[in-house]
Copies of this chain bind each other. A is one copy, B any other.
Amino acid sequence: MRDEATFVDESLLKKVPRWRGYLEAKLGFRNHWYAVRLSGDVGEGQIEKVTLAGENILLKRINGKVYAIRDRCIHRGIPFSQKPECYTPDTITCWYHGFTYRWFDGVLSDILAAPDSRVIGNRKVQTYPVEEAKGVLFVYLGDEGVTPQPLREDVPPYFLDDDMAVEGHAYLVQSNWRLAAENGFDALHVYIHRTSPLLGNTQRGLPIGHIASSAHITVYEEAGEPKGVYDDFEQHSVVYDATVDGNVVVKGTRSSRPPGPESRSSGASTWLPCSARVDNFPDAGHYQFEWYTPVTEDSHYYLILIGKRVNSEAEALAHRQEFWNRWKPLSLEGFNNQDIEARVGLQTFYKDDRAWLTEGLIEADLPIMKWRELCHEHNRGIQTPDHIR
């Protein structure tokens, strides 16, 4: 039995007033939209089980539209997913006593074993707003009575642009979602990518490290717009020759292309509640969009989408083919898999809340601190174990 008081210890939270809400958000933030599945994961009439920030949720696509309900009967807590029963396209029935709910609004429409009960029509199972965009299913994890903000406020800029074609794939990763967000936005972590096959394949450059200057970190916090932090790589000081005791021991990769802004990624940004955009990656003219959706305290749904602006169906098809034939094996599984390894490596230390106060960040970690402060300032609520019960 875990009680609220011990979720994150108050004595720790007090020590980080500027990012207290982030330290508390082990399970993510409430009243935000989260990418939870790709559209293709939920076919017509199909039921899919999802865990979002600790809440067990069922998705079903009915006449093309996806609906989401809590995977727990209001009567005695039975998970519908243990033995789903659907007697009509629009309802789900609990296999224990026949409590039947409408997918549209969650209302208890019938009880098969007790058709005269007064509770019929008067109770409901929790439902979740769902939006589908760019081939991604988004669920709104919201408090009762809160009207969802437009989806566009909770995704990186450019993602919803009409001419943006995106293709992607997702992985379940065994680390807290915050470690994923920080790893992706950490300019120093390119060190781990020096061996990626992506470098030889694209002939692009990748330094051993590049270090942000605080003057070129931009915080986006305008009302009604996405909230994020942008780090402009082109203003960084860049390290190609890594030394130990004054001797070069590892070298970065210099682009073998003609010089120009597109010879390496030009910037990275992170956005509330848990997404990122990397510009000119995995190659010039591309955008990598990522989501680090909290699943449990110790795992996240890592969605990687590669976007490209297209002007025709033919260009969209070419992008799709390039994603599956080139970027998925080469970059997702030859570059981002190195990020997964790093996040899992961080988890052992950071799973103890106290670690967040004993870590040893350095100057180059400034963008991470900006991100933590942004989250603290602009999140719309903290998910806690009480929401899961």
Contacts and interface: CB of A to CB of B under 8 A. Distances in A.
Contact of A191 (B96, B123, B349): B96
Interface string A333-351: 0000000001001101110
Nearest to A82: B345
Interface residues of A, number: 69
A76 interface: yes
A264 to B, nearest CB: 15
A93 B363 contact: no
A117 B363 CA distance: 7
A115 interface: yes
Name the residue in A115, A118, A192, A364 with the highest tally of chain B Cβ atoms < 10 Å from its Cβ.
Answer: A115
Contacts of A123: 360
Interface in A82-113: 82, 87-88, 91, 93, 95-98, 100, 109-113
Given A77-B349, A97-B188, A112-B208, A87 B249 contact: yes
Contacts of A222: none
B110 A363 contact: no
Interface stretch (A32-40, A240-248, A267-275, A375-383): A240-248
A293 B142 CA distance: 42
Nearest to A192: B96
A65 interface: no
Interface of A: 1, 3, 6, 9, 72, 74-79, 82, 87-88, 91, 93, 95-98, 100, 109-119, 123, 186, 188-192, 208-209, 211, 237, 239, 242-245, 247, 249-250, 342, 345-346, 348-350, 352-355, 358-364, 389
24 contacts: A1-B6, A1-B354, A72-B349, A75-B359, A75-B361, A77-B355, A79-B348, A87-B249, A88-B244, A88-B249, A91-B245, A96-B342, A96-B345, A98-B188, A98-B242, A110-B242, A110-B243, A112-B209, A112-B242, A112-B244, A112-B250, A113-B191, A113-B239, A117-B364
Given A115-B209, A358-B389, 20 more contacts: A72-B349, A75-B361, A76-B346, A77-B346, A77-B348, A78-B342, A82-B345, A91-B244, A91-B245, A95-B192, A97-B186, A97-B189, A100-B244, A110-B243, A111-B209, A111-B362, A112-B191, A113-B188, A114-B211, A355-B389
